Chains A and B, each alone.
Chain A
Amino acid sequence: MATHAPVAHPGGIAGHIHQEPQGFVRRYVFSIDHKIIGIQYLITGFVFFILAGLLAETIRTQLLNANGGFVSPETYNEVYSIHGSAMVWLVVIPILTGGFGNLVFPLQIGARDVAFPWLNLLSFWIFPVAGLMLFSSFLMGAPTAGWTEYPPVSLQGAAGTSMWAAAIFLVGVSSTLTGINFVVTLLKMRAPGMTFTRMPLFCWAQFATAPLLMIATTALAAALAALFIERQFGVPFFDPTKGGSAVLWQHMFWFYSHPAVYIMILPAFGIISEVLPTFARKPIFGYKLIAFSSMAIALAGFMVWAHHMFTSGLAPYLQLPFMILTFAIGVPTGIKIFSWTATLWGGKIHLTTAMLFAIGFIALFTCGGITGIFLAAVPYDLDVHGTYFVVAHFHYVLVGGSMMGVFAGMYYWFPKMSGRLLNETLGKIHFWLFFIGFNGTFLPMHWLGVEGMPRWVASYDPQFEFWNRFASISSYVMALGMLVFFYNVISSARFGKRSGPNPWNGRTLEWMIPSPPHYYNFKNIPTVYGLPYDFSHPLPYKGLEDELNDSPPAAAGAH
């Protein structure tokens, strides 16, 4: 056995082995271990997913009949506002960044933890508090202007909107801290030899997302603070009758929220880029293209926000540039889709559940991307803006994209978290119920939108009743799929088949260590000398020999 050389690797102190804290509370509740924090994010995120999902089913139940009648129109407005806000800020973003980000990328770059473990603990605990605040706004009159809360509507109404703003502000603080933590970790704590061009693509995706978390989220915080101040202290920013401007809110909001849609999709791209090569047993096609297109998307994301404002008083001479810029974003996205398809081409495909979700992702996200291009065309947008076509578009990207990515990641990394496999039969049932239910719910919304059914209505013209009913019933099928999933997770966590360290024959670093990994991740920090995903070559890592035997770490506490 090689003696352990005192490494001067870039990990600094965080590369040294910490003492594992003792006791349930310090280990699992107020943990500073990135893996535990990742799992905490996942659990909390899925709890909020259930709550926000119940609100979604409330929406669909209301729309079963043309004249509504399940809840009052006022309640209906509150329900869809909280549904959207919760799904975006409490489910998709925290699960993808805080959850999978924390759980996976420090392992993949060969680090022992993130750069600032205590900051990580703080970021996590802000999140459930903010989530409870968001849901508690129901008790004081929830916001009614949708997840975008456009003034002047959001300036009126009950105290719940201020609570909403405060809650989202807090989630923003948490995201910003996470972003800072991730950037420093990725810059400073990679194992020796883990150059940027050898980094797994999931790490690239997190690296592209982190600046968005830091920068875009802060811009949103400013908008939320202004809204809060205006509502609580009567200071005019957005109220046109006092010299403010409602369009100003839209600029501030969308300057954040367009980049935010990339916060919601880039990590999912990363997951897909891990799952596909593993189950196609092929190196990913166009590694560098995928990596750099993530960065391109992140950068370009800041330049297209005004495509959400074509109909709200954006100067006409600005429409054309924003339209062209938005079209341009389709290019790096298209590159990715091309690379993924080429990876599948001629691969030895293993249709595991994770792989099914990954393939489903490609199909559904592509549809969502194409309708995005439609919407970016100003003349077409003028027609369908504010209709169900927009709802269809963003659900195809957010649910068909981001959430399918989340599920792929769950089936893929669950063994690493728990040491046990999720049940594949239940997994496939989950996939098919969800996939069919999803398309049944959201596909008809395209034509409802084209026919002119408006968004944000508690009752509608009877001519739309058939497809609405179809969508509502399909949404119950989707919910059934989710029940199967939750049953699977809970039962497999206790009774699932043991997975061993590397059930999928993965080639990235997280698969080289036990499942679940030790507190300090690696006994010895490995050295990297080759590319990930290169299935025809031996593993490109040195120094992993005794990771899998149970002897105590070679140099615990040394130096």
Chain B
Amino acid sequence: MAVASVPHGGVHVEQPDQLYNEIRDLRLQGFLLALISDCVLFSSFVFAYLYLRNSGQGWPPPGIPRLDVPFAAWNSVLLFGSGATMHYALENHKHNNFMKYMLFLIATIILGAGFLGGQGYEYTHLIVSEHITWSGSGIFGASFFTLTGMHGFHVFVGVIFLTVLLMQSAAGVYTREKFFGITAGTLYWHFVDVIWVLLFSIFYLI
């Protein structure tokens, strides 16, 4: 990708700031480790779900209708698409295409919010029309709403995270050399994506 002629954020420095890179690495490692712990949190609940699911009463348990798989699949497309746009956002930032970076970031935020909307619609449908609830539908309601809810909450946090990034970028906080926040946001967003691949497979496909 071509390097844009006008670098954003002021002076164009070829040599990265040595000191700054060191801190960025520290923080990035810390952030990665935090994501790993978060992953363990999800894994524990996934384990619990699979354990309960295999504890012998058949799945889905009696009285639980089938989930609307095509709807969830379309909704997932939004989330996976947002993973791609986020990737391009970071790439464009690295290559100094400020406008493209902003556009891809905005697209990511919209897609993420769209996913949340879809999840809201799915929840409403399940609760209002199918009468499936968190506490009243046995281990199905317990594990489905806990896990997808935890994930939805992460997406929600991510949307806020990215919105803050957007505002900071508009204010010129990040330069070509200093963009820890953007890297962290990208990592986080991909993390949320990967978790959804897992959740989608175990709840809707198997």
Chain B residue at smallest Cβ distance from A119: B30
* Chain B residues within 8 Å of A181, by CB: 30
Would you call B25 an interface residue if the criterion is a C-beta within 8 Å of the partner chain's C-beta atoms? yes
Question: Closest approach, in angstroms, between the C-beta of A485 and any C-beta of chain B?
Answer: 36
Question: Closest approach, in angstroms, between the C-beta of A217 and any C-beta of chain B?
Answer: 8
Would you call A251 an interface residue if the criterion is a C-beta within 8 Å of the partner chain's C-beta atoms? yes
Question: Closest approach, in angstroms, between the C-beta of A220 and any C-beta of chain B?
Answer: 9
Cβ contact within 8 Å between A244 and B139: yes
Chain A residue at smallest Cβ distance from B34: A180
Which residues of A171-229 are within 8 A (CB) of B? 176, 179-181, 183-184, 187-188, 214-215, 217-219, 221-223, 226, 229
Cβ contact within 8 Å between A218 and B41: yes
| Docked pose: A217 CA to B44 CA in angstroms | 11
- Among B25, B45, B48, the one with the most A-chain Cβ atoms within 10 Å of its Cβ is B48
Would you call B141 an interface residue if the criterion is a C-beta within 8 Å of the partner chain's C-beta atoms? yes
* Among candidates B25, B34, B135, residue contacting A235 with C-beta atoms closer than 8 Å: B135
* Chain B residues within 8 Å of A226, by CB: 45, 48, 146
Which residues of B143-186 are within 8 A (CB) of A? 143, 145-146
| Docked pose: A181 CA to B61 CA in angstroms | 44
Cβ contact within 8 Å between B30 and A184: yes
Would you call B142 an interface residue if the criterion is a C-beta within 8 Å of the partner chain's C-beta atoms? yes
Q: Using known A-B contacts A184-B30, A229-B146, determine if residue A234 contacts B135 with beta carbons closer than 8 Å.
A: yes
* Among candidates A180, A229, A243, residue contacting B37 with C-beta atoms closer than 8 Å: A180
Chain B residue at smallest Cβ distance from A236: B142
Chain A, residues 325-352, CB within 8 Å of chain B (1/0): the string is 0000000000000000000000000000
Chain A, residues 484-523, CB within 8 Å of chain B (1/0): the string is 0000000000000000000000000000000000000000
Interface segment among A7-15, A276-284, A367-375: the answer is A7-15
Cβ contact within 8 Å between A236 and B41: no
By DSSP majority rule, is chain A's interface helix, strand, loop, or mixed?
helix
Question: Closest approach, in angstroms, between the C-beta of B115 and any C-beta of chain A?
Answer: 24
| Docked pose: A176 CA to B33 CA in angstroms | 10
Cβ contact within 8 Å between B23 and A180: no
Cβ contact within 8 Å between A218 and B37: yes
* Among candidates A8, A183, A221, A251, residue contacting B33 with C-beta atoms closer than 8 Å: A183
Cβ contact within 8 Å between B30 and A237: no
* Among candidates B36, B43, B57, B139, residue contacting A237 with C-beta atoms closer than 8 Å: B139
> How many A-B residue pairs lie within 8 Å, measured between CB atoms?
106
| Docked pose: A537 CA to B142 CA in angstroms | 63
* Chain A residues within 8 Å of B61, by CB: 243
Cβ contact within 8 Å between A222 and B139: no
Cβ contact within 8 Å between A215 and B36: yes
Which residues of A232-249 are within 8 A (CB) of B? 233-237, 242-245, 248
Cβ contact within 8 Å between A233 and B33: no
Cβ contact within 8 Å between B25 and A8: no
* Among candidates A14, A179, A183, A237, residue contacting B52 with C-beta atoms closer than 8 Å: A237
Cβ contact within 8 Å between A184 and B37: no
Q: Using known A-B contacts A188-B25, A215-B36, A244-B139, determine if residue A221 contacts B18 with beta carbons closer than 8 Å.
A: no
Cβ contact within 8 Å between A180 and B44: no
Cβ contact within 8 Å between B52 and A243: yes
Chain B residue at smallest Cβ distance from A11: B22
| Docked pose: A237 CA to B147 CA in angstroms | 12
Cβ contact within 8 Å between A176 and B29: no
* Among candidates B29, B34, B36, residue contacting A187 with C-beta atoms closer than 8 Å: B29
Cβ contact within 8 Å between B51 and A221: no
Cβ contact within 8 Å between A235 and B40: no
Q: Using known A-B contacts A115-B26, A218-B40, determine if residue A245 contacts B135 with beta carbons closer than 8 Å.
A: no
Cβ contact within 8 Å between B37 and A12: no
Q: Using known A-B contacts A215-B37, A236-B142, determine if residue A222 contacts B48 with beta carbons closer than 8 Å.
A: yes
Would you call B138 an interface residue if the criterion is a C-beta within 8 Å of the partner chain's C-beta atoms? yes
* Chain B residues within 8 Å of A119, by CB: 30
Which residues of A278-336 are within 8 A (CB) of B? none
Question: Closest approach, in angstroms, between the C-beta of B133 and any C-beta of chain A?
Answer: 9
Chain A residue at smallest Cβ distance from B133: A235
Question: Closest approach, in angstroms, between the C-beta of B24 and any C-beta of chain A?
Answer: 9
* Chain B residues within 8 Å of A219, by CB: 40-41, 43-44
* Among candidates A12, A236, A237, A252, residue contacting B25 with C-beta atoms closer than 8 Å: A12
Would you call B19 an interface residue if the criterion is a C-beta within 8 Å of the partner chain's C-beta atoms? yes
Would you call B15 an interface residue if the criterion is a C-beta within 8 Å of the partner chain's C-beta atoms? no
Cβ contact within 8 Å between B19 and A12: yes
Can you show 22 pairs from A to B with CB atoms below 8 A apart?
Answer: A119-B30, A180-B30, A181-B30, A183-B33, A188-B26, A188-B29, A214-B40, A218-B38, A218-B41, A219-B43, A222-B40, A223-B44, A226-B48, A235-B134, A235-B135, A235-B141, A236-B138, A242-B138, A243-B52, A243-B138, A244-B52, A252-B44
In the complex, the 6 A-B pairs of residues with the closest C-beta atoms, listed nearest first: A12-B22, A222-B44, A218-B40, A243-B138, A234-B135, A180-B33
Give the A-binding residues of B (Cβ under 8 A).
18-19, 22-23, 25-27, 29-30, 33-34, 36-38, 40-41, 43-45, 47-48, 51-52, 55, 57, 61, 134-135, 138-139, 141-143, 145-146
| Extra contacts besides A214-B33, A236-B135, A252-B47 (12): CB < 8 Å | A176-B37, A188-B29, A215-B40, A222-B45, A222-B48, A226-B45, A235-B141, A235-B146, A236-B138, A243-B52, A243-B138, A248-B48
